[in-house]
Amino acid sequence: MINRKKLHKYAGRYLLVAFLAAGFMAPAHAEQPKPVSSKLTPRLKQLLSEEMQMIKQAMKQILDGLIVGDHPLVATNAEQIYSSYILARELTPKDKADLMKAPPEFLQLDGEFHEIAKKLAQAGKQKDYELQRFYYGRLVDSCQGCHSRYVTDKFPAFSGAQPGGHTH
């Protein structure tokens, strides 16, 4: 027979699982967040915009490198994306305080994005072209993931579109 104490333990475990599952699935049902630009100062928007232009160029270079197996080209450009991390850059204390007004999920996405770039740079150094392709794909996921949630003012084509939601 299961005693009361044990039952509690099981119930607790199931609750935790349900809780984790709900948290994991939440983004799919969550409301569309507001564009992050409304939460950023003009100066931060400017810095971010410059960073994004650089990232876009670097992504093109990386694709060129992937196609022909130019590992150093992949590594250097991925490294450049990684080191552009705006949080790690020389921001004034006021900039940092301003940036913290952005939603935590946005900052987390930015952190993850730069981590992937770091892994891509490592794959470049290791001359592992399959891994490079994998992380390049993850980077593209990350561009779309952030833009479709937080940059729908600049990229309205994402509004109302479903990730992977083909209707045939």
Kindly list the residues in this chain that would bind ligand HEC in the complex (CB under 6 A).
36-37, 45, 48-49, 52-53, 55-56, 59, 106, 109-110, 113, 139, 142-143, 146-147, 150-151, 154
Shortest separation between residue 93's beta carbon and ligand HEC, angstroms: 22
Which of 71, 80, 76, 83 is CA-nearest to residue 124? 71
Shortest separation between residue 26's beta carbon and ligand HEC, angstroms: 18
Question: Is there a contact between 59 and 139 (Cβ–Cβ < 8 Å)?
Answer: yes
* Rounded distance between C-alpha atoms, residue 46 and residue 10, angstroms: 52
Q: Which is nearer to ligand HEC, 132 or 142 (CB)?
A: 142
Cα four-point dihedral sign 58, 61, 67, 73? negative
Q: Which is nearer to ligand HEC, 54 or 131 (CB)?
A: 54
Q: Which is nearer to ligand HEC, 2 or 104 (CB)?
A: 104
What are the angstrom distances between the C-alpha of 78 and each of 106, 118, 133, 146?
21, 7, 12, 18
Identity of residue 55: I
Tell me whether residue 147 is exposed, middle or buried, using C-beta atoms within 10 angstroms of its C-beta: 0 to 12, 13 to 18, 19 or more: middle
Shortest separation between residue 63's beta carbon and ligand HEC, angstroms: 11
C-alpha Rg value of the chain to the nearest Å: 20
Shortest separation between residue 109's beta carbon and ligand HEC, angstroms: 4
Shortest separation between residue 104's beta carbon and ligand HEC, angstroms: 12
